[in-house]
A and B are shown apart, each in its own frame.
Chain A
Amino acid sequence: MNKTFLTQEIGSIQRPIWRQKLNAPSNENWIKDALEWGKKFDVNERFELANEKKTGLLQKNGEKRTQEEKQRIIDISSIYVIRMLEKAGLDRVFNGEQPRTEMYDAFASKTKGIKTAGFVNSFDANYFRKGIITKKVEISDEGIDWFKKEFEFARNHSQKIIKPCLTGPYTMTDWSYVEYYAELQEKKASGNPVKEARRNAVLDFASDVINPIVKEYVKAGAEVIQIDEPAASTKQHEADLVVEGINASFKGVPRNVEKAVHLCYSNYSSLFPELAESSADSYLIECTNHSTGKEFNPNQIHEEALKIIELFKEYKMNASIGAGLIDIHSDLIESPEIIRDRILFINKLMDDPKKVQVNPDCGLRTRKWEIAFPKLENMVKGAELARKALE
């Protein structure tokens, strides 16, 4: 799709409490909440959750729910998010990662060779379950099937373009304790054991965990596939490894499928010149985190975002920028006019409106639906205003 200022989300949307607490007893507030949002988003399946006959899934004692019933709640939660994103008017949608626990665990739990260690903090109330790699990593057949079905479910419930997202190999490595690979290298006792261990882990994650899922997406007809690499710039001397991981993950993807990469909270400039060798078609980046305020000054775009655009030009990269124009860490709802100004500012730098996509800085999982939905609505309105301004 070559639309000017195409709009999309990044990945995660907050999971409603009734989705989070599948085993918990029914709660009137949860039911009220589910019915109200269901009505707002025109989700007919809301009556499967709760109805006048009191036969809804949420009206049943949580402990007595069958596995099938729990799965249905997860599916309905995905439908809610798909409708939310459609209602907001986005061009590309997905399921808000409703079936997934979170971006690391969703892959670690389906990968052979990873054992759970426990939780560590990421930021604020966001934590991730860190894993220990105990043997060579490889996605299980069930894992591949799980991601394929997740994609097909979203596609079957929306007329919009589905943009599935996958946690990248570098991030999976960086967020794991790479014990198996480190011990292998220590036994070999040649070269730099840590560096070699991380390299082997990244390449195994790319070829044996992520790429098999990417291939399934392609077979299932995906038009765009996104790889998330929030850890990309954590270790500047490994920029080459980040790029090698991205390219190996996308290996075999045909030209007509957009290869998107999401990078956030990074020193983007530290990824150059290596990033110029990446095969990705678009980079969805954070532009707003450092500049939230009620009054928007275009110069407040995150300076690292400005640098990446400059570097794009310097290295003559032909890729699109997905500009993060919503701060996912703030409850402030950006007005359409602020979004428009931010888009036009980025557009001026990029000098090609077809190469400017519009999205939040990162997943909106951090915000309640009361905040996330109007933020997305305004983002879409802002994109429309920006298109008009260009006419």
Chain B
Amino acid sequence: MSFLGAILSGPVSRSAETISEHRLLRDGHSTKEKFEELLKKDAEKIINAQEKGFAFVSAGQANWLDLLRPFSFFNGFRKRNSSGEDSVGPVTRWYSTNTFYRKPEIISKITAKGNELSSFLPEIEDRKGVLFLPGPYSFSRLVQNSFYNDNKELVLDYAQAIALNLDSLKEKGYFAVIFSEPSFGFDFLKESFDEKLLVKGFAGKIKEKNFTLGINFPLADASKAIPLIEETAFDFIGVDCFYSDFSGIKTKKDVFLGLVDGSRIGIESIESVKKTIKDFKLNASFSGNFFIGPNDRLFDVPFEQGLEKINILSKAAAGLSGEE
């Protein structure tokens, strides 16, 4: 059981300065260039905070706003008849938060040219980059599907579109994807969960040598998700340590322990991180390797606290390196 390093698990908030500039841009009193310059600075700070102990690094996808944002640039999605940021789709609540996303609408078969995702991401130099995308089940729940009769087909075309993007992603330094499945926990509770959409073929279509694939189940009990994922091509499975029953976890795969709370403002201590790992090792039936990170995106805490949480992960990870 080796420690593999820390990884983030989703987008990070923007700094107060960037937010102020974004508002000015919205109101027509700043320029896109000025705003993008600040986004770049935020991304640098996020990358710098991951300097030690991180297996893969992320620039926080600070320019995305939501995980669905680039998809209207794929073929098959409606381009709204309006200008600016509202061109993607209607404003829709992101689960149980006060953040919203733009709901893209699928109007024909999803296909990709191959550079849709990389054009939304900065280059990662000297390190291996990770990006975050909606998992297959959540993707099918978050888009407005006005084309596919069979959601399984939708999910496989989504996989194919991502697969076509891998080359350009690698050119920009990305070697890992974490698929986030918040819909799993949500719908599981409501008994409207359709496990067929966590299709085996999904990860298989994307899986390539030298590319690591993870799937995370924020705000859900991973012990319920793992049996559905065990035989898929995902390399590791996310365990939300605040929602999961460790004793129910049985897996041969590597795991990603989400042990820093993305929804609370308090900053975890290194001791609490270590304690969670210890509890997991004691209670779960697990012999693989493990990553650590936040249980969910760091988008519901301000930028500064997000950075502090990343710092704690970095320090904890540095202390865990080489741990068996």
> Which chain A residues have a beta carbon within 8 Å of chain B's beta carbons?
14, 17, 20, 117-125, 127-128, 130, 132, 171, 174-175, 177, 179, 230-231, 233-235, 265-267, 289-290, 292-294, 329-332, 366, 368
The 7 A-B residue pairs with the shortest CB-CB distance in the complex, in nearest-first order? A118-B302, A125-B26, A123-B100, A177-B265, A234-B96, A290-B90, A125-B22
Q: Is the CB of A331 within 8 A of B265?
A: no
Q: Is the CB of B91 within 8 A of A289?
A: yes
Within the complex, which residue of B22, B65, B98, B102 is in contact with A231, where a contact is CB–CB below 8 Å? B98
Q: Which residues of B contact A293 (CB under 8 A)?
A: 81
Q: Is the CB of A121 within 8 A of B86?
A: no
Q: Is the CB of B65 within 8 A of A265?
A: no
* A85 to B257 CA separation, bound complex (whole angstroms): 53
| A27 and chain B: residue at smallest CB distance | B29
Q: Which positions 67-123 of chain B face chain A at CB distance < 8 Å?
A: 80-86, 90-93, 96-103
- Most interface-central of A122, A124, A171 (chain B CB within 10 A): A124
Interface size class of B (residues with CB under 8 A): 35 or more
Q: Is the CB of A121 within 8 A of B299?
A: yes
Query: What is the predominant secondary structure among interface residues of chain B facing chain A?
Result: loop
Closest Cβ of chain B to A168, distance in Å, is 13
Q: Which residues of B contact A231 (CB under 8 A)?
A: 98
Which stretch from B13-21, B130-138, B196-204, B206-214 is at the chain A interface?
B13-21
Q: Mark B248-259 against chain A: 1 for CB-CB distance below 8 A, else 0.
A: 000000000000
Q: Which residues of B contact A332 (CB under 8 A)?
A: 81-82
Q: Is the CB of B304 within 8 A of A118?
A: yes
> Which chain B residues have a beta carbon within 8 Å of chain A's beta carbons?
13-14, 16, 19, 22-23, 25-29, 65, 80-86, 90-93, 96-103, 264-266, 299-305
* A128 to B80 CA separation, bound complex (whole angstroms): 26
Q: Given A124-B65, A234-B97, A330-B86, is A119 in contact with B19 using a C-beta cutoff of 8 Å?
A: yes
Q: Which residues of B contact A179 (CB under 8 A)?
A: 265-266
Q: Which residues of A contact B19 (CB under 8 A)?
A: 119, 121, 127
Closest Cβ of chain A to B126, distance in Å, is 30
Q: Is the CB of A265 within 8 A of B93?
A: yes
Within the complex, which residue of A124, A175, A265, A289 is in contact with B85, where a contact is CB–CB below 8 Å? A124
* A118 to B264 CA separation, bound complex (whole angstroms): 13
Q: Is the CB of A177 within 8 A of B264?
A: yes
Within the complex, which residue of B81, B91, B305 is in contact with A294, where a contact is CB–CB below 8 Å? B81
* A292 to B119 CA separation, bound complex (whole angstroms): 28
Q: Which residues of B contact A329 (CB under 8 A)?
A: 86, 90-91
Closest Cβ of chain A to B164, distance in Å, is 29
* A175 to B96 CA separation, bound complex (whole angstroms): 11
Q: Which residues of A contact B25 (CB under 8 A)?
A: 125
Q: Is the CB of B26 within 8 A of A123?
A: no
Q: Which residues of B contact A175 (CB under 8 A)?
A: 98
Q: Is the CB of B86 within 8 A of A132?
A: no
| A234 and chain B: residue at smallest CB distance | B96
Q: Which residues of A contact B97 (CB under 8 A)?
A: 234
| B98 and chain A: residue at smallest CB distance | A175
Q: Which residues of B contact A174 (CB under 8 A)?
A: 98
Q: Which residues of A contact B92 (CB under 8 A)?
A: 265
Q: Is the CB of A331 within 8 A of B98?
A: no
Q: Which residues of A contact B303 (CB under 8 A)?
A: 118-119
Within the complex, which residue of A14, A127, A289 is in contact with B90, where a contact is CB–CB below 8 Å? A289
List 18 A-B residue pairs with CB atoms under 8 Å apart, sorted by A's residue number. Answer: A20-B27, A117-B265, A117-B302, A119-B16, A121-B299, A123-B91, A123-B101, A124-B91, A127-B19, A130-B302, A179-B265, A234-B97, A266-B93, A290-B90, A329-B91, A366-B26, A368-B27, A368-B28
Q: Which residues of B contact A233 (CB under 8 A)?
A: 93
Closest Cβ of chain A to B8, distance in Å, is 16
| B303 and chain A: residue at smallest CB distance | A118
- Most interface-central of A121, A128, A179 (chain B CB within 10 A): A121
| A128 and chain B: residue at smallest CB distance | B98
Q: Given A130-B302, A177-B265, A368-B28, is A330 in contact with B82 using a C-beta cutoff of 8 Å?
A: yes
